[in-house]
Chain A
């Protein structure tokens, strides 16, 4: 039972699935009823998978199988990436301070003590609980303990992140931070599998949605492609705009008045903006606009695609929690609101008219820009 604990960053688009369930089933006790049975699931590197299902349907058991907390009663689990797990309710009944606990957990995740201490401070700060680092866990509020639970999972940059309703109990700002952190980890090649009761959670960003019902796992048809964002940026004076921006190879088109127009998946917009603004000399970002249609013109470079199981080609079935569907051409519920990330008033509005509900991704405002 040897594991690699080296904290090396995952590489995006690694070959093969991170972890795979083959005919996996789980029941508690030798003669207990099957909670899950015949589960086939591949989690590719860099995939963001959502698991839906009613209470008690076995969502948590599925995550426990993926985390290696439960061994399958039948079938197989292959692959054991560096895994981090966030439980729904993190109990405060531990005799540590938040910082002490996170340092212990960071070391269990394979970090050095110093790196664990830095990560603990950084993540708690990011979730707005920096002042609670020295607080004993037993004195933390429910939300603050949940921030500790989320921090322990993120601080060692795992390759497989399992979130069992991890957002429950977090305040709005921390929920947005967690959205952003999840997308950052995914952009770094980490596979993320999450359960959440809010259907809007990371809506439209997941690579696939699965529903657990009756002990079986079904892939919801019509999992939408990730939405795209158009970024119009102006090259710094003295540089050649034709050389292109210092970002990953996303489709680039000449924009208005000498600017460059980039089409990027919404999940990568933070990284692209960061690249544009931190390069020296910095680029000037003229506008950021959500694009109305799924980005079939902008395939995600090297991005993983979840291999479609046989039933994925079936007609769209009734998923318990609807993921955001592609907006119908008919009048949407909210007709033409202003874009959530308004371009500067003086900027030429290069994006298409906002004829669809605006949906700037969680990454556009949830990251650490």
Chain B
């Protein structure tokens, strides 16, 4: 598995296709976050932006090889394992990006509630932010896995489906990402840090299920 991860990571890095989603994320953060803003609000915003980035990275990773090259890898490794490696590389890249952002935001934001009245401890806020980011990255990976190869094979369907699914994942009631963001926003309002453990768990379950479906379908639909 480590050879597969190395291969797909090298493919992602050398293809330079990681650049647009990473730049988009940087632009989001530059526009939405200022130093001195309430920490939980900023962390919530940074987490929410990880979701589309994770979904986009998944789409890049699973379409990064021509099909003949994919077959050369899938014959020795198994097509499901090869697909799993794509998804893992995308997820880990998104988490790395989100972690850097969360730590940065925690450091530069004001450790207080939205009305600047109640102090909010930085470590607890940072931890909550990391978990919210993780929930969003997990759900973004699930969205990406379900809206690209092997489920949707043409770009014309995959990209609109991805955009729509990202939007729904952020706004639909009951979505783990929305739950995590709600925890951050309400925590910021009353100054009490809520650790979004449950959204993380449901996000992980969603990501696992989506990954299982996508990997199982690679040898059936591709």
B76: contacting residue among A83, A87, A100, CB under 8 A: A83
Q: Is the CB of B74 within 8 A of A68?
A: yes
**In the complex with contacts A108-B4, A108-B77, A91-B68 CB distance below 8 A:** yes
Q: Is the CB of B75 within 8 A of A156?
A: no
Q: How far is the CA of A149 from the CA of B6 in the complex (A)?
A: 19
**In the complex with contacts A68-B74, A69-B75, A71-B219, A1-B81 CB distance below 8 A:** yes
Q: Is the CB of B66 within 8 A of A94?
A: yes
Render A58-101 as a binary contact track against B, CB cut-off 8 A, 1 for contact.
00000010011111010000001011111111110111100010
B80: Cβ under 8 A from any A Cβ: yes
A24: Cβ under 8 A from any B Cβ: no
- In the complex, what residues of A have CB within 8 A of residue B72's CB? 84-87, 90, 105, 149, 152-153
A104: Cβ under 8 A from any B Cβ: yes
The residue in chain B whose Cβ has the minimal distance to the Cβ of A89 is B68
A109: Cβ under 8 A from any B Cβ: yes
- In the complex, what residues of B have CB within 8 A of residue A96's CB? 10-11, 14
A110: Cβ under 8 A from any B Cβ: yes
Q: Is the CB of B3 within 8 A of A84?
A: no
B73: Cβ under 8 A from any A Cβ: yes
* Shortest distance from the beta carbon of A178 to any chain B beta carbon, whole Å: 16
Q: How far is the CA of A80 from the CA of B219 in the complex (A)?
A: 14
Render B63-88 as a binary contact track against A, CB cut-off 8 A, 1 for contact.
00110110111111111110000000
Q: How far is the CA of A89 from the CA of B66 in the complex (A)?
A: 11
B15: Cβ under 8 A from any A Cβ: yes
* Shortest distance from the beta carbon of B67 to any chain A beta carbon, whole Å: 8
The residue in chain B whose Cβ has the minimal distance to the Cβ of A88 is B68
Q: Is the CB of A69 within 8 A of B79?
A: yes
* Shortest distance from the beta carbon of A157 to any chain B beta carbon, whole Å: 11
A94: contacting residue among B3, B65, B222, CB under 8 A: B65
Residues from 197 to 222 in B contacting A, C-beta threshold 8 Å: 219-220, 222
* Shortest distance from the beta carbon of A162 to any chain B beta carbon, whole Å: 7
Interface of A is mostly: loop
**In the complex with contacts A69-B219, A96-B14, A85-B71 CB distance below 8 A:** yes
**In the complex with contacts A68-B74, A69-B74, A108-B14 CB distance below 8 A:** no
Q: How far is the CA of A75 from the CA of B74 in the complex (A)?
A: 21
A3: Cβ under 8 A from any B Cβ: yes
* Shortest distance from the beta carbon of B12 to any chain A beta carbon, whole Å: 10
A107: Cβ under 8 A from any B Cβ: yes
- In the complex, what residues of B have CB within 8 A of residue A1's CB? 78, 80-81
B7: Cβ under 8 A from any A Cβ: yes
Q: Is the CB of A93 within 8 A of B14?
A: no
A67: contacting residue among B15, B65, B71, CB under 8 A: B71
A304: Cβ under 8 A from any B Cβ: no
Q: Is the CB of A70 within 8 A of B219?
A: yes
* Shortest distance from the beta carbon of A288 to any chain B beta carbon, whole Å: 36
The residue in chain B whose Cβ has the minimal distance to the Cβ of A101 is B69
- In the complex, what residues of A have CB within 8 A of residue B74's CB? 67-69, 85
Q: How far is the CA of A152 from the CA of B74 in the complex (A)?
A: 12
* Shortest distance from the beta carbon of B6 to any chain A beta carbon, whole Å: 7
Q: How far is the CA of A73 from the CA of B11 in the complex (A)?
A: 31
* Shortest distance from the beta carbon of A351 to any chain B beta carbon, whole Å: 42
- In the complex, what residues of A have CB within 8 A of residue B78's CB? 1, 3, 68, 80
Residues from 4 to 30 in B contacting A, C-beta threshold 8 Å: 4, 6-7, 10-11, 14-16
Q: Is the CB of B76 within 8 A of A156?
A: yes
A245: Cβ under 8 A from any B Cβ: no
A189: Cβ under 8 A from any B Cβ: no
Q: Is the CB of B3 within 8 A of A108?
A: yes
A292: Cβ under 8 A from any B Cβ: no
Q: Is the CB of A108 within 8 A of B73?
A: yes
- In the complex, what residues of A have CB within 8 A of residue B220's CB? 70-71, 73
- In the complex, what residues of B have CB within 8 A of residue A89's CB? 68
- In the complex, what residues of A have CB within 8 A of residue B65's CB? 94
Q: Is the CB of B71 within 8 A of A104?
A: no
- In the complex, what residues of A have CB within 8 A of residue B7's CB? 104-105, 107-108
Q: How far is the CA of A149 from the CA of B72 in the complex (A)?
A: 8
Q: How far is the CA of A275 from the CA of B15 in the complex (A)?
A: 47
Q: How far is the CA of A107 from the CA of B68 in the complex (A)?
A: 18
- In the complex, what residues of B have CB within 8 A of residue A110's CB? 3, 76
* Shortest distance from the beta carbon of B212 to any chain A beta carbon, whole Å: 11
**23 sampled A-B residue pairs with Cβ under 8 A:** A3-B78, A68-B74, A68-B219, A70-B222, A84-B72, A85-B71, A85-B76, A90-B68, A91-B66, A93-B69, A94-B65, A95-B11, A96-B10, A96-B11, A100-B10, A104-B6, A105-B73, A108-B73, A109-B76, A110-B3, A149-B68, A153-B72, A156-B76
A-B contacts besides A90-B68, A93-B69, 7 pairs, CB < 8 Å: A67-B74, A69-B74, A70-B222, A85-B71, A94-B69, A108-B7, A108-B76
8 smallest CB-CB distances across A and B, nearest first, come from: A85-B75, A107-B3, A95-B14, A91-B66, A87-B68, A71-B219, A104-B7, A67-B75
Instruction: Give the interface of B toward A (CB within 8 A).
Output: 3-4, 6-7, 10-11, 14-16, 65-66, 68-69, 71-81, 219-220, 222
